[in-house]
Structure 1
Amino acid sequence: MSSLKTMQNVLLILAAMFCTNTYSANYPERPLRLIVAFPAGGTSDTIARLLADRMSQKLGQPVTVENRTGANGIVGTQDARTANPDGYTIILVPSGHAINSTLNPAATYDPIKDFTMISLIGTVPMVVTAGSNLGAKNIAGLIETAKASEKKISYGSGGVGSSNQLATELFGAMAGISTLNHIPYRGDTPGIADLLGGHISFIFLNVPSALPLVKEGKLTALAITGAERSPLLPDVPTISETVPGYAAGSWHIIIGPAGIPEDRVAILSKTIVDIVHEPDFSDRLLGMGIDPVGSTPEELKTFMSQEIEKWKKVIEDADIKL
């Protein structure tokens, strides 16, 4: 009886291995859907369409981009969460995915447990940009001015709970500044207009938004929020060169509904990593101010856990509420 049971177990293992290999070999057999939780034309949408085109070539099946917008990405994310976990529906989400679960009651999902981690595409550092009214030429000057000021220095952001608000609050906490006044806008564009008009003193902007304004001399780049200097602004130091340990920015990841078979996840992840590391694709990302990464699912899970805890602390310490 024991030998028979052993033989049955061996046969079950072999059958499972055969099925898994067949599963991988036949996948994908039909088009894939790549959801973008934000409108067409934005950075997330642009990355998704570039990626979808390359994925279609490598996987031999069309990868269709579908914009599902609303509630700062929550609508599209919920749509992806409830999709069939067969590997044919995936979603590209930015850094708000690590923020919504703490800040927004509408995000009723767990940003890790309710999804399958696939790959981190890249990170996007910000530029601390200042107008002439601030008078600071570098990040040390901003810190000195803020600490010496009798009134609060106003900074702008793309809205309450936006990545640039949280990055600024983290900076203020680590630099020991308690005199910052947050002015939220409906997106960065009106904030930039007020910065140029002298109504606020500084704003953290993604590199693509800040670059032309800095190059034209309309705004001063005080520092980069990433761990390393940006190749697009090589002479601009990082905040961490003045405030050790500081690092912040946005990012873009690919995830799917929880429960996608591991072999299909492996195919998707490897495909994305290979694409991100292709020189011409990598150059496209760098030109958009995005530092290419391309991670394994395990690396993405670790990264996400760190980001969620990091921004949760900032939100709670700064008492940020929608």
Structure 2
Amino acid sequence: MWKFVGAAALSLLLLFSPAAQSDDYPSKPIKLVVPFAPGGSVDIVARILSQRLSEDLGQSVVVENRAGAGGNIGFEAVAKAKPDGYTLGMASSTLAVNVSLYRSIGYDPLKDFAPISLVAMQPNVLMVNPSLPVKSVTELIAYAKANPGKLNFGSSGIGASQHLAAEMFKSRTGIEMIHVPYKGGGPAMADLVAGRIQLMFETIPNSLPYIQSGQLRALAVTVEERSGQLPDVPTVAEAGLAGFVSRGWLGVMAPAGTPQSIIDKMNAAVHKAVADPAITKRLVDLGLRIKLSTPAEFSAFIAREVADFRTLIADAKIPVE
């Protein structure tokens, strides 16, 4: 009898072991949490990925928007979810920023997640209202130094990638500009076009119609290589500010404690999805640069981003909420 009980217990242990769970993973729908409202870049990329992942995995990957508190509500929901691979999250640069912007966020970006893979980098473009008498980054710096504190730059809010890109630009050049935060990128862009603010860093897809129509003047893109959508616009480094790189990023993560076999399976699935030419084109058309990684590389990348943003936010004296 004891042999029978022992064998049964061993069978149960094997059945519920991480290896056994991952062998038939996924066996039910997967929830992909987006920490922001529908319609933004993080949400759009999540929906592009979820459709292809559903096809490849044979189970539905359902996007769930958990917006609020600058992304903290959604990130916390992922951090506290059961680590079984059935709740995943879309990570973004906001994950690395918020730990330095908020006194309490309900999660640790370095300890509470199991990174799966980077997906893409999201460059910004530096634009000015055409009424500003500058046509290059060098001329902008010279104008700002000659008119300290007279230039206003907009962003979609304190700590947003546009805001931090401008703060980095200020730090690297020694110029003085006034930050005007808005409740979203749309209102900020409207005021930039109207001339109520003079310049702004913004994602390429949101900026392109205004640049192409001549309503705004593009001076530079903020990554190492020129954008295929703006081939005639130099990088900030090409424009004279060597080493300047500022971009957002997107990736996929799971709660800490998720079995490594599941992390590896999802890493392979994400890579396969993004490698599909149709998916690649959709992401590139959004102004993104494909950047895949191993789980270990993504983990190390997040750690560097947390440290870099902490330094930038402290140096810029951005208030903690």
TM-score, length basis structure 1: 0.91
From 87, 99, 109, the equivalent of 1:89 is 87
Instruction: Please show how residues 62-81 of structure 1 align to structure 2 within 5 Å.
Output: 62-81=60-79
Q: Which residue of 1 aligns with 2:206?
A: 209
Amino acid of the structure 1 residue aligned with 2:194: G
Q: Which residue of 2 aligns with 1:278?
A: 276
Aligned residues of 2:18 and 2:259 also touching (Cα < 8 A): no
Amino acid of the structure 2 residue aligned with 1:185: Y
Q: CA deviation at 1:269?
A: 0.8
Q: Deviations over 1:255-312 (max 9, x none)?
A: 1111000000000011101111221111100000111112111111121111111111
Amino acid of the structure 1 residue aligned with 2:119: I
Q: CA deviation at 1:150?
A: 4.5
Q: C-alpha separation between the residues in 2 aligned to 1:65 and 1:317?
A: 37
Q: 1:234 to 1:206 in 2, by over 3 A?
A: same
Q: C-alpha separation between the residues in 1 aligned to 2:189 and 2:79?
A: 35
Q: CA deviation at 1:247?
A: 0.4
Instruction: Please show how residues 122-161 of structure 1 align to structure 2 within 5 Å.
Output: 122-161=120-159
Q: 1:216 to 1:208 in 2, by over 3 A?
A: same
Q: Which residue of 2 aligns with 1:113?
A: 111
Q: CA deviation at 1:21?
A: 5.0
Does residue 176 of the first structure (1) align with residue 169 of the second (2)? no
TM-score, length basis structure 2: 0.92
DSSP-derived class of the 1:239 partner: coil
Q: Deviations over 1:99-129 (max 9, x none)?
A: 1011112313211211111111101000101
Does residue 266 of the first structure (1) align with residue 264 of the second (2)? yes
Q: CA deviation at 1:22?
A: 3.8
Amino acid of the structure 1 residue aligned with 2:22: S
Q: C-alpha separation between the residues in 1 aligned to 2:51 and 2:211?
A: 32
From 303, 316, 319, the equivalent of 1:318 is 316
From 52, 61, 79, the equivalent of 2:59 is 61
Q: C-alpha separation between the residues in 2 aligned to 1:183 and 1:209?
A: 18
Aligned residues of 1:73 and 1:93 also touching (Cα < 8 A): no
Instruction: Please show how residues 161-310 of structure 1 align to structure 2 within 5 Å.
Output: 161-177=159-175, 179-241=176-238, 242-310=240-308
Q: Deviations over 1:36-80 (max 9, x none)?
A: 111122221111111111111111111111111111111111111
Moved more, 309-318 or 22-31: 22-31
Q: C-alpha separation between the residues in 1 aligned to 2:51 and 2:149?
A: 51
Aligned residues of 2:154 and 2:188 also touching (Cα < 8 A): yes
DSSP-derived class of the 1:316 partner: helix
Does residue 31 of the first structure (1) align with residue 22 of the second (2)? no
Aligned residues of 2:75 and 2:107 also touching (Cα < 8 A): no
Q: Which residue of 1 aligns with 2:45?
A: 47
Q: C-alpha separation between the residues in 1 aligned to 2:193 and 2:27?
A: 52
Q: C-alpha separation between the residues in 2 aligned to 1:86 and 1:21?
A: 12
DSSP-derived class of the 1:146 partner: helix
Q: CA deviation at 1:85?
A: 0.1
Q: C-alpha separation between the residues in 2 aligned to 1:291 and 1:229?
A: 11
Q: Deviations over 1:193-241 (max 9, x none)?
A: 1111111110001000111100111100000011111111011001122
Q: Which residue of 2 aligns with 1:7?
A: none
Q: C-alpha separation between the residues in 2 aligned to 1:20 and 1:185?
A: 46
